[in-house]
A = this chain, B = another copy of it.
């Protein structure tokens, strides 16, 4: 599919900054791809990018209008449709990671056909997939895994990719969720494929490559999350990782959405991931722990990271605050 950039980021009329989380991710990690933002009357989010009309964006070379906001329920608001249709008529594609589909809105489907434009519903895989075959692929792979959902696996993956790229390494970020796909311009939402095809989807996403090439693959869920562990295991098997990085948020009282479940011990979680990963890559190792310390003060964060390093014998870093250097030091 490959979503073409540069992008114009559509913020709609959302009520707060948090609703523009997806747009923030894109602007943070792919600033060169983002020409500007389009905000409707009443919009309370602001990325600090130039405000642009569709006409101005097209004139500046924008290829795709990306819906970078989620409103309540993840649906496409009625009053957004005029703007999206205008973008299609003006020659842009439109991309979104919402629950309901752009292609399911008749006016948009018609406008896309008439003007030979594409609609990207990145939450909904449309490719025809094969089941996984487990065959060893050339090239190297790193997968981020988690103690829980929503602990920073995508951000950690992107921070590692950035550090590797800055060191001149041969690397690609491989996206497995909707925000990641909009950041990468391609990918597959592995939690939305039919269950039989989870590992096959990841084999497609991260094909054989040059021997010194790294894919940094965005993880999903956690082997210890009672709702989603199946996705995490299929992803682990399909990724065949040479290296895993454990991502963790240290202030959670319980697993996300599951008040009766506490978080796993970090060492136990690493060992369970390695044991499962060995099925498709016996040489897998853990190269570090990425801790989101944003809710801790600087002294607490430093103490926690040192404690994890001491007890596990692995680099422990906050990739948000400090980058991924010590983790990338372990990759060759």
The chain A residues found within 8 Å of chain B, CB to CB, are 131-136, 190-196, 198-200, 223-224, 226-235, 237, 257-258, 260-261, 272, 275-276, 279-280
Contacts and interface: CB of A to CB of B under 8 A. Distances in A.
A198 B233 CA distance: 12
Contacts of A223: 233, 276
B134 A279 contact: no
Contacts of A232: 230
B227 A131 contact: yes
Given A195-B198, A198-B230, A200-B227, 11 more contacts: A131-B227, A131-B257, A132-B228, A133-B257, A133-B258, A134-B258, A195-B195, A196-B231, A199-B229, A229-B279, A231-B234
Nearest to A264: B279
Contacts of A194: 191-195
A224 B134 contact: no
Contacts of A131: 227-228, 257
Contacts of A193: 194-195
Contacts of A226: 132-134, 199, 237, 279-280
Nearest to A199: B227
29 contacts: A131-B227, A131-B228, A131-B257, A132-B226, A132-B228, A134-B226, A134-B227, A134-B260, A134-B261, A135-B260, A190-B195, A191-B194, A191-B195, A192-B196, A193-B194, A194-B194, A195-B198, A196-B228, A196-B231, A198-B231, A199-B226, A200-B227, A223-B233, A226-B280, A229-B234, A229-B237, A229-B276, A230-B234, A230-B235
